[in-house]
Structure 1
Amino acid sequence: METPRKTPPKVTIPRKKACAPCSQSKVRCDQTRPYCTRCEKRGITDECAYEESATQDTGRSSSRGTPQVLNFAVLDLVCTIDPEEVRNRWLKLYLPMTDQTPKSYPPNVTAFLSRILKAYSLSPVRNGTLPPFVHFYQQAPPSISTPLANCLTLARVCDQPLPGSQPAVHDTLKREMERLYSEYTSYGEMELLAAFQAYLIYAMLIYFHFDETRESGLQQAMLNLQDMACEVSRRGLVSTAELNHSRPQWESWIVAEAKRRSIYTMYLFDSLLCARDGLPTFLGTELRGVPAPGSKELWQATDRGAWSLAYNGYLHKWGSDGQLRIDELWPVPLEFSEADIENRRSRVDHWVSSLDEFGTMLFAVTSMTSKHLWYYLVQGHIVHGIVVEAPANASPKPASASNEQPFSIFSKPEKAFIIIIVSTAATFSGFASNIYFPSLPTIASDLGVSVELVNLTVTSYMIFQGLAPSLWGAVADSSGRRITYICTFLVFFAACVALANTRNYATLVAVRCLQSTGSAATIAIGSGVIGDITTRAERGGFMGIFQAGLLVPVAIGPVIGGALSSSLGWRAIFWFLAIYAGAFLLFLVVFLPETLRALVGNGSVPCGDIIRKYPLALYQHRYQRRSSSMPPQQFSDLPPKKPINILASLQVLVDKRVVPIIAFLSFYYMAWQVSITVLSSLMKTTYGLDDTKIGLTFIANGVGAMVGTISTGKILDYDYRAIQRKCAAAAATTGREVAIPLDTARLRTVWVWSAMQVASLLVFGWSLDRRVHLAVPIIATFFTGWAAMSLQSMVSTYIVDVFPDRSASASAAMNLARCLMGAGGTAAAMPVIKGIGAGWGFTLLVGVMVAALGLVVVQVRFGGRWREQEREGE
């Protein structure tokens, strides 16, 4: 049974003194343990001995001179991360990180980190201690490895080089690094770890001890280090017992802990190099879930008994939640509740209380990365995963404190809630249009006019649906989203009341135009809100949610309209819309914050007037509780407020950067609207359905459209990331930043959806023409809706990406073009069908759609070039 020891043993570390035979002969000794190479070749190993003074304490005292013998042959380690992400970390320098903010390294942090790492590289020579990422049992026989022993020897040469010897020493270090890198894949577990640590120490020695002109090789050295770190990680970073919250084998823990500490040191050194070169550096998200450095008691335990006892206490301390993870030292996620923050604070406090010098250094650097440590110690706020309570006499925040603003203060749940609100608001345009379709024959009969004339009210509605957002979009981009929403809903409410009381055809046409003016802009304003609060990488998914909301009325609007018209009369439709609009307006006023970046920045800028101030102030209060160290943006930081420009959407409409794709979408939208508009009349004349059953036939179209927009949102995000990875590979080859081709990233699958819409419209037209079973045209409308909304989601996201600062006006421009085209198509649809039949009528329409595909070719080929020309012109 092993006897516990209170302190670690002495560890033999090479000193300046040669062995006795080499010293007597006055020749150079390579000081290899246990016998130098010269004595071994001469067969005098029995005489090869080092003076007692060469044995140094590792910074600890021991009652025994030799450490225990450990068996590192069988280790129970697993890899819990993707090691390839460690290898490819350097690629992030060549592409903008859309999901992270680059870490900021103030000069004091850089200086602090530089001092610490320099001390690590020379600690064996100057202090007689190993760097705190090398465990002392790695240098205890029989675990001692040649790469690390040679490294510690060469470190002494770098500390006190002879005059004029620096080039030779530098070349020696480089040759040793090249040898280690060429052989590391063939090493065993312990030798690979030693080679990685040695290579890291060599890189730091070169950085801290040689001229700037010789540091050009460090970039390649860092790439090699990441390759070696990938292999080290692949062989395991965590013991299986650690994952199960039980005590691991001591040898396994030593190796896992040394690996983790070495990799953390490599990341810090990489950050130091990036800060020196002015390059961005990001959180090591690829290490998420890896344990943070262990306690001082565990790392410095001298024998198995002492370590086992310490680890039992360690398990009891951390409980079922397990030890602290490295990602718990990162900034607090915005979606964290107060309880989550308190739990994080408590865990970090437990961890800090038992740290050694390495853990303390890591905690200090992570705390100071984007905030000053002084402020962390004095002020009560959240910094990198912890909450500190401020003392009563705390001083105000220093003006020089560095604070990085997030793109938006809204957490993901808050963003989702806001998008649900604007999606619901956008449904009014669809409800007012689709709820009307089943009652068209009934309205014509009640007002004593033909169905063709009532169809013209659909045409007039679509004309103003295209024109109104041009006005409201400009107001929303200048005066704010909330005030524009309030105005549009008041107009819509008044129009619905007037329509419910209309008595003649002329009034019906006029007030339908007014209703369209009030409802149509909600789509453009909603797109603007999404552009305000989302980044490009996440925008596709959120646009999918938004577009899905638009399709609820497409699916259920005709059903509701048909039911109301059959039971209460067609006027009940507009009373229903009036009540719905009034109730929702109250909800919107209470819960929707102002988001226009020209007014509130990322949401943190306080507003003065009552309409914009609430409920934004409540969201700002929640954000300050999550991140009270982050001051609000200042008005001086905001982009200049734009004057109201009612021609803004027209300017976008004629902008060559988007003309081809908007024209393409307009043709396909027109074809979709034609199929919806003629559906009620053809179902009544062909199959003899009443209003209620006609309303049910619209469900398939709406469901298909919902499926399309939700799935396309996911596809858009996937495509963007796929193109981003390809650009990263190209950047790695060329060594330069490669811009992401927006046209390819957003429009890659446009051909699939175009083909689906063309085929489904052909089936729809000819099935009605030949009077086949009712199920066939209904199923065809499902695929038509799916394809049409997939195309619309793609183009909407693309246009917001091209005009992020004019998102509402850009959406209004697209809406204007497609609605005017749709109005023309629906006006001509019934006369054409009556003249040549539904089959040939839709065949003619499909021919136009196929020709319009040429516009996509133009957009993909020239869009990027046109955007580049516009940037150069600016």
Structure 2
Amino acid sequence: MDEESAISSKVDEMAVNKITDIETPAISVIQSNNYDNVEKKSESVLTIYENEEGGDATREPASEQPVQSGEDFTVLTGKQKKLVIFTASFASIFSPMATSIYYPSLDTISRDLNVSNTHINLTITFFLVIQGIAPSFVADLADNLGRRPMYIFCFIIFNAANIGLALQNDFRALLLLRVLQAAGSSGTITLANGVVGDITTSAERGKYIGLTSMAFVFGTMVVPLLGGAIGQFAGWHFLFWFLFIFSSAVNIPLILFLPETCRNVVDNGSIPPPFFSKNLTDLVRHKNRRKAGLEYDKMKEVEIRRAYKFRLPNPLSTLKVLGDLESAIILTTTGLSFGCFYAISTGTSKLFHELYNFNQLQISLMFIPFGCGSILAVLTIGKTVDWNYRRHAAKLGIPVIKNRFQDLTNFPIERARIEIVLPAIFMAGTFTIAYAWIMMQKLMLAAPVIALFFLSCGLTACSQVLNILIVDIYPGKPSTATAANNIVRCEMGAVLTAVILPLMNAIGTGWAYTLLALLFMGFSPVLMMLMKKGPEWRRVKKDRDEKSAVGTGDTTPAMTLNECMITIREDSAR
């Protein structure tokens, strides 16, 4: 047997045995060399996999990191994943809802409580501050104890705050209870992103962006309209009674039916959850698996249960994400995006009331263009993200595997994502400037409506793609990555919300929003640098982490497919 036949035989043997003797990424960027036949053979082997929703072979881009060969990333089917993501995303609506439902009534609340608009804006500022900090604690507990117990905790806090807000008539009480409300609602976004990271890979994350963005779109489009109607006809106190009723209606079925997905608690879903994470769907699913003769790894269950215990939340893991240069660039851009969004939303009530003499209901209608622009972004950006991912994978000759962790070390994930982000940034910045000067000139109503539509589309597209990217570079820690994201975007949103009205009063609406847009667009060169340097930074960080892990006796680096092929050739040569 010649050398090429020997190599081919080895690859076939690896495919049949699913490479069970090597913990290796299913894919690595195979550099051009003299082993073209090996590469073609390995690609043909690796691209044969079963579609999660049917059974057809499908080509999609690679994901993030290695798991044991032949092990599905999740035992949930495609339909089950969509239902779980939809439920978790819908539950996260209360974070943007608690803010958006409040916007149309700001002027009314300031008059009723005899305080200025600047004072009322402090209730938004403090809300955003806590909304940024609280998820760090929720994420740490959720990664340790599971998603479901933390959902229960968050909704109890949220509902208690809503009852208090509905009964108070004092600015100080309003401010303190809004802080408590933020602590309860903000964790739901972190938990929802944690669920998505638990059961999806980078290869398929784009197609789920519509579901994960649902809460943001609904919160920006429908909730302000709802808030305006409630405030106009029932009074602003009933806003909080509505939140309490709606939250209770969502919370009960969620507790009963949302399965536990945390990989530190149930692995890929094959291990039965502990008592506090159990629900009806878990009981039925695991009963059906036992009837079908599907066994799970008992040793892994013992290992997971040994680590399953309550400990005080430690936000240091979130701070570690913030301290990473690549993460800091991504999070700062996301923060500027949300800061622009909150600053425009906060100023909308004041501007349309003063310039167009709108009442609460009419002001709430002006948030519809926000929502429509967000819907356009959500409907188009997911497919665009996946298309660009496939395009780069094809350029590099990378095979694609579904429902498996794969190594992104040599894949230009930053370029694949940021190429979509840059046009969105310039679109959002351009239309923010246009909106500012349209309002200064008090043009016909259609003009600010169109500007609001396009700036919302750009801001939503930018933030959603960067949300995917931050999870891409922190596989296995989606809640922690999202918590870090929340800290930056909410604190930057809080700062810009606090300064936008004084800035508008000092230099005018046009120059205030122009300055904001230029600051946002001016960050683009930093993203371009990240496209070039990002893969190198990730490799250095990965090497450092692996050396640290080896030093503590934790684990050894997994062999990549490229290294495996070289080893096979060397063995064959001998």
Which of these residues, 126, 132, 136, is aligned with residue 460 of structure 1?
Answer: 126
Deviations 1:262-310 (A, max 9, x none): xxxxxxxx7xxx7xxxx9934757xxxxxxxxxxxxxxxxxxxxxxxxx
2:84 paired residue number: 418
2:336 paired residue number: 667
1:801: Cα distance to partner?
A: 0.9
| 1:437-456 matches, cutoff 5 A | 437-456=103-122
Q: Distance in 2 between matches of 1:334 and 1:864?
A: 29
Contact between 1:601 and 1:633, CA under 8 Å: does it hold in 2? no
2:484 paired residue number: 813
1:614: Cα distance to partner?
A: 4.2
Q: Distance in 1 between matches of 2:361 and 2:259?
A: 39
- Whether 2:536 is the aligned partner of 1:870: answer no
| 1:255-270 matches, cutoff 5 A | none
- Whether 2:262 is the aligned partner of 1:596: answer yes
1:657 paired residue number: 326
Which of these residues, 463, 487, 490, is aligned with residue 792 of structure 1?
Answer: 463
- Whether 2:392 is the aligned partner of 1:723: answer yes
Letter of the structure 2 residue corresponding to residue 612 of structure 1: K
Q: Distance in 1 between matches of 2:399 and 2:226?
A: 54
Deviations 1:475-526 (A, max 9, x none): 1111110011110011001101110001100000000010011001111111
1:513 paired residue number: 179
- Whether 2:361 is the aligned partner of 1:695: answer no
Deviations 1:541-590 (A, max 9, x none): 21342013321111011101000011110011000000011111101011
1:50 paired residue number: none
Which of these residues, 803, 808, 819, is aligned with residue 474 of structure 2?
Answer: 803
Which of these residues, 808, 819, 822, is aligned with residue 493 of structure 2?
Answer: 822
1:577 paired residue number: 243
Unaligned runs of 5+ in 2: 1-7, 21-33, 56-67, 401-407, 546-574
| 1:709-858 matches, cutoff 5 A | 709-728=378-397, 739-858=410-529
1:281 paired residue number: 45
Q: CA 1:729/1:453 → structure 2, altered by over 3 Å: closer, same or farther? A: closer
1:65 paired residue number: none
Q: Distance in 2 between matches of 1:537 and 1:851?
A: 31
Q: Distance in 1 between matches of 2:120 and 2:409?
A: 54
Contact between 2:123 and 2:178, CA under 8 Å: does it hold in 1? yes
Q: CA 1:501/1:694 → structure 2, altered by over 3 Å: closer, same or farther? A: same
Q: CA 1:750/1:497 → structure 2, altered by over 3 Å: closer, same or farther? A: same
1:457: Cα distance to partner?
A: 0.8
Contact between 2:436 and 2:510, CA under 8 Å: does it hold in 1? yes
TM-score scaled by length of structure 1: 0.54
2:552 paired residue number: none
Contact between 2:149 and 2:276, CA under 8 Å: does it hold in 1? no
Task: Give the paired residue count.
Answer: 498
SS at match of 1:457: helix
Contact between 1:430 and 1:551, CA under 8 Å: does it hold in 2? no
1:615: Cα distance to partner?
A: 2.9
1:172 paired residue number: none
Which of these residues, 313, 333, 351, is aligned with residue 682 of structure 1?
Answer: 351
| 1:121-520 matches, cutoff 5 A | 281-282=45-46, 284=48, 404-520=70-186
Deviations 1:629-665 (A, max 9, x none): 5422335277784864222212211112311121122
Q: Distance in 1 between matches of 2:47 and 2:434?
A: 53
Contact between 2:162 and 2:241, CA under 8 Å: does it hold in 1? yes
Q: Distance in 2 between matches of 1:408 and 1:335?
A: 13
Unaligned runs of 5+ in 1: 1-89, 94-100, 108-217, 227-269, 286-330, 341-401, 732-736
Q: CA 1:801/1:730 → structure 2, altered by over 3 Å: closer, same or farther? A: closer
Q: Distance in 2 between matches of 1:783 and 1:472?
A: 34
1:624: Cα distance to partner?
A: 5.7
SS at match of 2:73: coil
Contact between 1:606 and 1:613, CA under 8 Å: does it hold in 2? no
2:551 paired residue number: none
Contact between 1:405 and 1:633, CA under 8 Å: does it hold in 2? no
- Whether 2:17 is the aligned partner of 1:104: answer yes
1:871: Cα distance to partner?
A: 1.1
- Whether 2:547 is the aligned partner of 1:547: answer no
Letter of the structure 1 residue corresponding to residue 112 of structure 2: D
Contact between 1:429 and 1:520, CA under 8 Å: does it hold in 2? yes
Q: Distance in 2 between matches of 1:758 and 1:591?
A: 42
Q: CA 1:635/1:789 → structure 2, altered by over 3 Å: closer, same or farther? A: farther
Q: Distance in 2 between matches of 1:792 and 1:562?
A: 26
Letter of the structure 2 residue corresponding to residue 104 of structure 1: N
**Greater C-alpha Rg:** 1
What's the C-alpha RMSD, in Å, of the aligned pairs? 2.9
Contact between 2:132 and 2:186, CA under 8 Å: does it hold in 1? yes
Q: Distance in 2 between matches of 1:222 and 1:667?
A: 47
1:451: Cα distance to partner?
A: 1.4
1:423: Cα distance to partner?
A: 0.9
Which of these residues, 267, 283, 295, is aligned with residue 631 of structure 1?
Answer: 295
1:872: Cα distance to partner?
A: 0.9
Q: Distance in 1 between matches of 2:398 and 2:77?
A: 32
Q: Distance in 2 between matches of 1:424 and 1:507?
A: 29
1:463: Cα distance to partner?
A: 0.8
Which of these residues, 188, 197, 205, is aligned with residue 522 of structure 1?
Answer: 188
Deviations 1:131-157 (A, max 9, x none): xxxxxxxxxxxxxxxxxxxxxxxxxxx
Q: Distance in 2 between matches of 1:859 and 1:557?
A: 36
Contact between 2:18 and 2:69, CA under 8 Å: does it hold in 1? no
Q: Distance in 2 between matches of 1:837 and 1:636?
A: 62
Q: CA 1:450/1:405 → structure 2, altered by over 3 Å: closer, same or farther? A: same
SS at match of 2:370: helix
1:619 paired residue number: 285
1:622: Cα distance to partner?
A: 4.7
Letter of the structure 2 residue corresponding to residue 632 of structure 1: Y
Structure scoring higher RCO (CA < 8 A, sep ≥ 6) equals 2
Q: Distance in 1 between matches of 2:208 and 2:176?
A: 36
Q: CA 1:222/1:797 → structure 2, altered by over 3 Å: closer, same or farther? A: closer
Identity in percent? 30
Letter of the structure 1 residue corresponding to residue 181 of structure 2: Q
Q: Distance in 1 between matches of 2:250 and 2:538?
A: 40
1:403: Cα distance to partner?
A: 9.4
Q: Distance in 1 between matches of 2:440 and 2:274?
A: 62
1:405: Cα distance to partner?
A: 2.7
Higher helix residue share: 2
Q: Distance in 1 between matches of 2:532 and 2:37?
A: 40
Letter of the structure 1 residue corresponding to residue 317 of structure 2: A
Q: Distance in 2 between matches of 1:670 and 1:738?
A: 32
SS at match of 1:576: helix
1:412: Cα distance to partner?
A: 0.7
Deviations 1:227-283 (A, max 9, x none): xxxxxxxxxxxxxxxxxxxxxxxxxxxxxxxxxxxxxxxxxxx7xxx7xxxx99347
1:855: Cα distance to partner?
A: 2.3
Letter of the structure 1 residue corresponding to residue 17 of structure 2: S
Q: Distance in 1 between matches of 2:212 and 2:76?
A: 17
1:759: Cα distance to partner?
A: 0.8
Q: Distance in 2 between matches of 1:568 and 1:550?
A: 25
Q: Distance in 1 between matches of 2:321 and 2:183?
A: 20
1:291 paired residue number: none
Letter of the structure 2 residue corresponding to residue 560 of structure 1: L
Q: Distance in 1 between matches of 2:232 and 2:85?
A: 34
